[in-house]
Amino acid sequence: MNLPLVVDIALGLIFIYLILSLLASEIQELIATVLQWRAIHLKKSIEILLAGDLKNSESPDVIELVNRIYNNPFIKSINQEAKGFFSILPRKLTWFIADTTRPLRKLIAKSAKGERTFDKEHSAPSYISADTFAATLIEELQQPKIIHGLTAVRLEKFKNQRLQEVETILTRSLRQIELTELANYITQDLKDDFKNLKTEYTNIVADFKNNKLDIDTSVNRMKHSLEKYIDNFQANIDDENPVLAETLRRLQAFCNHIFSSVEEAIIIGGLKPNINEIVQLMNTSNTVYKEMKTAIQDEDSQTYQTINQLMESLPSVIRGNIETIAKRAQYRAKSTEEGITILRREIEDSFDSSMQRAGGVYKRNAKGVAILIGILLAFGANADTFHIINRLSKDRVLREAIVYKVVQTIDQQSNSPNLSNIDTKKILEDVNLPIGWTDDNRLEQMNWNPIKIKGVPIFSLLTMFLGWIISGFAIAMGAPFWFDLLGKVMNVRNAGKSPKSVRNQDENNS
C-alpha cells in the first residue's frame, strides 16, 4: 500500500468522521436545549458556590436562597422568552419534554429536590454575568438594610451618650447653683434648653431611620444643635458667675472634643460600620449581633425583623463563606461604601473562578455525553471504522469522490469559515459513503472474517462492535478537530499546493 493511497484513505475516514461529528453536535445541542442542561448546571454551580461543597449544596436552605436569587428581578430580566402562540409553541414543547423526563433525571441524580429545578419557573438563564450575580446576592442578603439598621442603632447609642455627657455637666452645675441665690428662672431656662436639645437629637435620629437624612448630615445637625444649645446657655448666664462660666467652658470643650469634625465624630461613634462588622451580624454568636440585639429592645421593629429574617434564611455554611469574602474585602476598604463595592468585586471574582471550574466540569460531562451520542450514532448509521477503511482501500472511485468533496468543503470554508455551513445532507446524497444498514454493507461486514462458530460470524460481529466503538469515540472528538486535521492531511496530499489549485487541476484533467 503506497503513501498516496494511505493519505486518500485517511482523508476519506476523516471526512466521514467530520460529517458524523456535525450530526452528533446538532443532536447534542438539541438535547442540551430541550433538557436545559446549561441552565441546570449553572444553577447547581451557584448552589455549590454558596454552600462551599457539593454535599451542603443539597441543603433546603441553600436551595431556597438560590431560588430567591433566581426570582430576583435582576435575574428574571435575563431569562427572555418569546411572546405569541406560534413563537412560544416550541418552548412549550421543550417544557413538556423537560417535565416528562424530570422523574428519570431525579432518579438518576438521586436528588431530593422539589418538583421543579427552577422553582416556579419552567426555564432559567443559561448564563449570568458576575456583576449581575454579585448585585443580586448583595440585595438578597439585604446588605443596604443591615447597614442602615446597624448605623441607626449606633446613632441612637451615640445620641444617648452625648446627651448623658451634657446632662452630667449640667447636673454638677445645677447642684452648685442650688447653693447660691441665683434666680430660679435661669435654672428653668437651662433645663428647657436641654429638653429642646434632646428633642432635636431624637428628631435627627428619627429622620435618619426614615431615610430622610444620611449619616453625615445627621451628625452635622447634631453638632449644630449642640453649638446652638451652648450659644443659648452662654446668652442666659451671668459671665461673672464662676459656676456657670466653668460649666460653659466644660460644654465648649466637650463639643470641640466630640465634634471637632464630622468625620471624627462618625469614627468615635462607629457610625460607618466596616463591611466585616456588617457580615458578622449574620453570626448570632458574634459581638456585633449581640450589640444589635441588646440595643433593639422592640422585637416588632423593622430593623429587628429584617436581621432576624436574614438569620433564619441563611444557612451557617453560607454565612461562613460570605464572612470569609468580607474579610478579604475589609483589608482594602476605607469606608462602608467602598467596602460594599470591594465586597461586590470579591463576590464577582469568586463567581468567575467558580464558573471557570464549573465550565470545566460541564465540558467533561458534555464530553461523556458526546461519546455516548457518538457510539449510538455510529451504531445507528452503521459507521464501522474497519469496514470504512476496507471499502476505501478497495474502491478507487469512492476515494476520488470523497477527495473531491473534501476539496469543495475546504474551499467553501476558506471563503466562509463556519462549520455549520457544511451541508451534510447534500454530501450524504451526492456521495455513497460506506455507512448505513444497506444489504451490501451488512453482507460485506458479515463476510469480512470467514471464521464462524456454529454458523455465527462471531469474529465479524466483534469487529463490527469494535468498529462502532472506535467511530463513537472519533465522533466525540468534535467537528472542529476533524476539520483541522482534514486540512493538514490535505496539505500533505497536495504537497504544499492550495486546495483550490488542486481542484482546478482535477477539473482540467477531467
Work out the pLDDT band at 49, boundaries 50, 70, 90. confident
Q: Say which residue, 149 or 277, is predicted with more confidence.
A: 149
Inter-residue long-range contacts of 495-499, CB under 8 Å, 24+ positions, other chains counted: 499/406, 499/407, 499/410, 499/411, 499/414
What pLDDT was estimated at residue 80?
A: 59
Per-residue model confidence (pLDDT) at position 152? 86
pLDDT over 90 percentage in the chain: 23
Which of the four pLDDT bands, split at 50, 70 and 90, describes residue 82?
very low
Q: Residue ranges of the domains in the chain?
A: 142-314
Question: Between 392 and 304, where is the model more confident?
Answer: 392
Burial of 85: CB neighbours in 10 Å, binned 0-12, 13-18, 19+: exposed
Q: Is the pTM of this model over 0.85?
A: no
- Contact between 47 and 358 (Cβ < 8 Å): no
CA distance linking residue 64 with residue 67, whole number of Å:
5
User: DSSP 3-state assignment of 327?
Assistant: helix
Q: Residue 499 — pLDDT band, cuts 50, 70, 90?
A: very low
Per-residue pLDDT for 184 more than 80? no
| Whether the predicted pLDDT of 223 surpasses 60 | yes
Is pLDDT of 230 > 70?
yes
pLDDT of residue 118 exceeding 60: no
Supply 457's cell numbers.
460470524
The pLDDT of 101-130, averaged and rounded, is 60
* Tens-digit pLDDT profile for residues 196-217: 999 999 999 999 989 899 999 9
